[in-house]
Structures are given as structure tokens and as C-alpha cells.
Amino acid sequence: MTASSDTKKVFRIGMLGFGTVGAGTAQIVLHSRPSLKEKTGIDIQIRRIAVRDMKKHRAVSIDPALFTSDGQAVVDDPEIDIVVEVIGGIEPARTLILRALKNGKAVVTANKALLATHGKELFETALAHGGSIGFEASVCGGIPVIGALRDGLVANRIESIHGILNGTTNYILTRMVEDKVSYAQCLYEAQSKGYAEADPSTDVKGIDAAHKLTLLSNLAFHSIFDFSEVHAEGIDGLALDDVRYASDLGYAVKLLAVAKRRNPGADPEDFPGGLELRVHPALVPFSHPLANVRDVNNAVLIRGDATGEVMLYGRGAGMMPTGSAIVADIMDAARGSARQTFTKLQFFQNPREDMPVIPTDKIRSRYYVRFNVDDRPGVMGKVATVLGGHGVSIASVIQKEPHETGFVPIVMLTHLSVEDRFQAARAEIESLPFVRKPSAFYRVED
């Protein structure tokens, strides 16, 4: 930065990108500038904005002279103190952020994909060159979950995180659960309302939630995890029948992001302990607070050893909520607190020896499973025998009326089991002559 945060009163920001989030950020800065100055004594000014298309119509009225097509000129400008990156994606965002950090500037970003895949490189560069990275907006938009983990819960040993981190999928699942509408129809509605992209795969396959879970886990468990270590499944294969059956059993289906410490088990075949790190559709009891998170809202349920469960809830995306989080990070950088956090709390720098990611086949869960079987005597007993042979016990079972195509759906909930045992039992049952493939299964988080 060009001057100490303790003495400098005017901070100039350079923006990389000016899409929906960038426009929201600029609007908040322009409208809130007088009140921010009154509250903090700091004057935030927009100095330059890098955009791809100089001729594009802008949703926010702003001086055209501020725009440039040269992102490198923004990060190299000696008058700019804070660089705000809202381009998205990996490149050119990564290259420009690295250059800004090497120039000693503070960086604020909403780019969860970049941080989840290149976070170690970026954070180490920030530390080496006297910069900082603010990323509150990268997870859950306007919900201050990053600040809660970084500051409010710093005295806690975090035991688990369960989150609904993607608004698009939560909207789709809300419609499927409440209105019994098919996945395809709900996706079409989400796209029509602007909740889902034309290519929704990043959302519906769990990739977006996995990026966010990576960042939350880095903070919560004080280590560097990579996006590739997160087991991710999406909702794109979810059948409406399973949503209905789950409801009959007292459960809602949610796309959950789960990071859970696990102590070494007594079973010698069990994994010796570490962190379960996974994103997938899951059954959540209707009585659980996450089951009642509706539409495009997000929520994060954090369990600390001192606080117990803490839940943060609100709008997880959008122009103004995300812009609000970005401006909060801008103010942290201007006050100098962002740099202090980086240098003193040593987040992301701890070794991983005591926190291996548990392989998916060694996670422990209860399971919902549906088998479609021929309508003949003795089927239920044979299915139960196979499950029992693999050490999987049944908690409850319902047998539905025969389907119009002739098969009978059998729906079961199991007790807690290690995944590889459950999957071995499921594969053996699918091989039985009276079972029609494929079966369906979902994990239960209750």
C-alpha cells in the first residue's frame, strides 16, 4: 500500500470485472461512501475498473473515464491501495491477483473456485509480500460465515460444519419437496427466474458447494485442503419418487456440504480418524433447522467445542448481499485488520499430518436405500439377509404399492454403517435375479 493504514484516510480501489457482483459493489461504495467515512474516518474511492467490453451498457451509473480494458494497469497502478477481483474463474484472475499481491496491495475477492484450487499459492504470496486477501463474499454471499469462523469462533475447536451452500440447488429441492415437481421442471423454473445458469452443472453437480466447503474447512481446521479432496455428488440424478418416500419417512432432501472431525474408531477395519469432507444430497429430519432452509437461502451450522451449535442463515448470493460482503472486506483492508489477521492468526499455514481426509468408502453414515424388486414372496427376507451379512442393520422399512411397470419399491433406512460395507451389500442385492437396477441411495444426516 502507498501509506500506512493507521495514518492514511483515503483509500483508492481498483476493480477487476464489473458484472452483477461488481456492479453491486460499486453501487454500495458510491451510495455508502459518506456514511462509511462518518463511521470510520476512511474515504473509499473507486479509481479504476477493468472490463472486457468497454462498450457494454452498465447497470450502475458511473464515470466512463474510470473504465479500462487493461487489468494489468489496474494492479500496477501505484495510486490503488486495494484490488477487488470479481472476474470469476481461474484465469486471468489468478495472474492478476498474484501481480497485485507482489505489488504489496490488499486483495478482496469473491472467487471461491480460484481460492479452492490455488489458495495455498495465493495466501503464501500475500504473506511474502505484505499483502492480504479478503474473501468473505466467496462463501454464502452476505452471510458473514468467514468472519464468524475467523474471529467469533476462534476460541473453539471446530468439530463439524454442515451447510446448505448453493442457492440454486436449494431452490430446486424446495420445489421438489414442497410441490412434488420433477427435477427437470424445477431446473427449468430456476433458469427462468435467473437462479440457475444456462449450463447449471457447476451448481447441480455439487461443484460450487465443494469449492465453498474447501474454504470453510481451511479456516475451521487451520490447514490447507484442496478442492480435489472433497467428495462431490449432485442432485441431477434425484428422482421425485425418492423425495416423496423420504418425506413419508419424515425427512427433507438437501444438498449438504459436510466437514466433520472423526476420532479413531474401535473397529480395526475403520479408518484411524481425520476429516470427512463431502458434498452430496442427504436426508435431513424435518425437525432439523437445516430442513427448513427454503428457496435460494443458504445456511451454515457450525459445532464448536465451547459454543455447541451455531447457525448462520440468509441470502447466499445476489448483487447486493455479495457486494455488501466485499465492501466489508474493503473496510477491513483499509483499517489494517485484514493484514493483522493474515500475519498473526496463521490460518492456512498448519501442517496436515493430524488431519487426513477420510476416503469416501470409510465415512460413517446412516443410509436411505430404495430397491425395485419383483412382486414375489420372500424378497424382503433375502434383502435383509444380505444387508445383515455385511454388518448393515435396518432401522425402518416401507414397502410401496406395485409400480405400473410391475415392480415393487422397497425403501429402507439403515443404522450407522461404514460406507464400503453398505455399498458392498447394495451391489450384492442388485445382483439378485429379482432386483431391477439401478437402486437409489442417499446418506442420512440426523
Here the cell at position 119 is: 489458495
Q: Where are the alpha helices (DSSP H) in 41-166?
A: 71-76, 93-102, 112-128, 145-147
Q: Are strands 158-164 and 106-109 parallel, antiparallel or unpaired?
A: unpaired
Decide: residue 288, CB within 10 A, 0-12 exposed, 13-18 middle, 19+ buried.
middle
Q: Each residue of 51-73: b (16+ CB within 10 Å) or e?
A: beeeeeeeebebeeebbbeebee
Task: Annotate 421-445 with three-state secondary structure.
Answer: HHHHHHHHHHCCCCEEEEEEEEEEC
Q: Is 269 exposed, middle or buried, given 0-12, 13-18 or 19+ CB atoms closer than 10 A?
A: exposed
Block residue for cell numbers 429430519? 285
Q: Which three cell numbers stand for residue 23?
A: 456492479
For cell 492514511, name the residue: 8
Which DSSP letter does residue 272 get?
-
Identify whether the C-beta of residue 55 lies closer than 8 Å to the C-beta of residue 64: no
| Residue 382 is among the residues annotated as catalytic for this protein | no
The set of residues, in sequence order, having a beta carbon less than 8 Å from that of 87 and lying 6+ positions away, is 16, 17, 71, 93, 96, 111
Q: Using omega within 30 degrees of 0 as the cis cutoff, is the peptide bond preceding 438 cis?
A: yes
In one-letter notation, the amino acid at residue 113 is: A
- Using an 8 Å Cβ cutoff, are 120 and 95 in contact? no
Please report, to the nearest 10 degrees, the dihedral formed by the alpha carbons of residues 226, 229, 230, 236 taken in order. 110
Q: In the numeric block, which cell numbers belong to residue 41?
A: 474516518
Of 212, 260, 344, 437, catalytic = 212
- What is the rounded CA–CA span in Å between residue 433 and residue 350? 52
Q: Which residues are catalytic?
A: 212
